[in-house]
C-alpha cells in the first residue's frame, strides 16, 4: 500500500505538531544539549536488510542501541520501524518466506549465528505489542506462563507474579483479583499486564512496538512513566508513531524513512539518522528528519 506521507500519522498529537512553526531556527550543535551517557552498546547493528520474499522492507541499517536507555524509532508508516525491531528478537522469522541480511550483535554475539537458539533470544529480549494481547486466562496465569515455560523455578511463583505486577505499576489495581480473567481489565491495564508478563521472564531488553497506539492519553501517560522507571534495569527500544512520545521518553531517537524505488512500487525503509533525542528534535542532522518532525514531510 503506497500512501502519501502527508496523510500519515493520524495521531492526536498531530494537531499540536502542525500548529508549531514549520521552520526551525538553526541550533548550533553543542555536545552538551542533553546529558545522555554513552553506555555500552547492547545491540550493534550493521548493514541490516530484511526481505519479505523478494521485497526488501529495510535496507542497510547500521546503528547501536545503548544499554539502560530508551531508544525511540520514529518515522512515517511503511518505513520498516516494526520490521526493524522485530529483527532484534528474531520474531520476523516466524513469518515464512522472510530473510535477514547483515549482522546484529547482541553483547558482541551474532544474534543470527547458526548455533543461536531463537527461543532463548526471545526470552532475553522481550516484546510488547501494539494491541494489548493478554492470554485469555487469569491475570496470574498471564504472568506465570513465561517463567513456567522457560523453566525458571522461582522460590515462590506468587512472589514473582507480585513483583512483576508491581514493576509494571499494576499490582495495586489488581492485587485483589489476580485470579480474574485478564480480559476484565481496561486496555491500559492490559498493556501493563503485557509488560508485567514480559518482565516476569527476566529479560534484558524490552522491545515495544507502538505500545500506546491503542490507549487513551491517561493510559499512555502511565506507560510512559513506567518506561522511564524501567530503563534503570532494562534497555528499551520503542517504535512510536507519536513524536511527542519519542521526545518525552527517549534518550536517543532513530529516524527511519521510506525510500520509494524508481518504479514507485516498492517502499524500502532506511535509517536516516540516530542521535540524542534532543538533538533530533532541535537540530536534526538531516533535512528529511527536519521535514518530518516539523510536519512538513516532503
Footprint on this chain of another protein (rule: CB under 8 A)? 89, 91, 94, 96, 119-120, 122-124, 126-127, 129, 131, 133-137, 145-146, 149-150, 183, 194, 197-198, 201
| Grid cell in block for residue 148 | 513456567
| Grid cell in block for residue 187 | 486496555
Buried b or exposed e, range 282-292, using 16+ CB within 10 angstroms: bbbeeebbbbb
CA–CA gap between residue 35 and residue 255 (Å, rounded): 20
Angle of helix 139-149 relative to helix 157-167, nearest 10 degrees, comes to: 110
54 class by beta-carbon count within 10 Å (0-12 exposed, 13-18 middle, 19+ buried)? exposed
Which of 200, 226 has the CB closer to another protein? Answer: 200
Which of 21, 96 has the CB closer to another protein? Answer: 96
Which of 67, 118 has the CB closer to another protein? Answer: 118
* Minimum distance from residue 131 beta carbon to another protein (Å): 6
CA–CA gap between residue 65 and residue 25 (Å, rounded): 29
Longest dimension (CA), the chain: 60
Which of 12, 149 has the CB closer to another protein? Answer: 149
* Minimum distance from residue 96 beta carbon to another protein (Å): 6
* Minimum distance from residue 253 beta carbon to another protein (Å): 24
252-260 vs 70-74, strand pairing mode: parallel
* Minimum distance from residue 221 beta carbon to another protein (Å): 24
* Minimum distance from residue 30 beta carbon to another protein (Å): 40
Which of 69, 164 has the CB closer to another protein? Answer: 164
Amino acid at each position: 500500500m503506497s500512501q502519501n506521507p502527508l496523510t500519515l500519522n493520524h495521531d492526536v498529537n498531530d494537531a499540536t505538531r502542525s500548529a508549531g512553526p514549520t521552520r526551525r531556527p538553526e541550533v548550533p550543535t553543542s555536545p552538551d544539549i542533553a546529558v545522555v551517557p554513552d553506555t555500552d552498546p547492547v545491540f550493534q547493528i550493521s548493514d541490516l536488510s530484511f526481505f519479505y520474499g523478494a521485497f526488501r522492507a529495510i535496507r542497510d541499517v547500521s546503528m547501536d542501541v545503548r544499554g539502560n536507555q530508551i531508544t525511540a524509532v520514529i518515522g512515517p508508516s511503511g518505513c520498516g520501524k516494526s520490521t526493524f525491531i522485530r529483527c532484534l528478537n528474531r520474531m520476523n522469522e516466524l513469518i515464512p518466506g522472510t530473510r535477514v541480511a547483515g549482522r546484529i550483535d547482541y553483547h558482541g554475539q551474532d544474534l543470527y549465528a547458526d548455533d543461536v537458539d531463537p527461543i532463548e533470544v526471545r526470552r532475553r529480549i522481550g516484546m510488547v505489542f501494539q494491541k494489548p494481547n493478554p492470554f485469555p486466562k487469569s491475570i496470574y496465569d498471564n504472568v506465570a506462563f513465561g517463567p513456567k515455560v522457560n523453566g525458571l523455578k522461582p522460590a515462590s511463583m506468587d512472589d514473582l507474579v507480585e513483583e512483576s505486577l508491581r514493576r509494571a505499576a499494576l499490582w495495586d489495581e489488581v492485587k485483589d483479583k489476580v485470579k480474574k480473567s485478564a480480559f476484565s481489565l481496561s486496555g491500559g491495564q492490559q498493556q501493563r499486564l503485557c509488560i508485567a508478563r514480559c518482565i516476569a521472564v527476566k529479560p534484558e531488553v524490552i522491545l515495544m512496538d507502538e505500545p500506546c497506539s491503542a490507549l487513551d492519553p491517561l493510559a499512555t501517560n502511565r506507560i510512559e512513566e513506567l518506561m522511564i522507571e524501567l530503563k534503570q534495569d532494562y534497555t528499551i527500544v520503542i517504535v512510536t508513531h507519536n513524536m511527542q512520545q519519542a521526545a518525552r521518553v527517549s534518550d536517543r531517537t532513530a529516524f527511519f524513512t521510506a525510500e520509494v524505488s524508481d518504479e514507485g512500487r516498492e517502499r524500502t525503509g532506511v535509517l536516516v539518522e540516530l542521535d540524542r533525542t534532543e538533538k533530533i528534535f532541535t537540530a536534526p542532522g538531516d533535512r528529511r528528519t527536519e521535514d518530518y518532525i516539523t510536519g512538513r514531510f516532503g
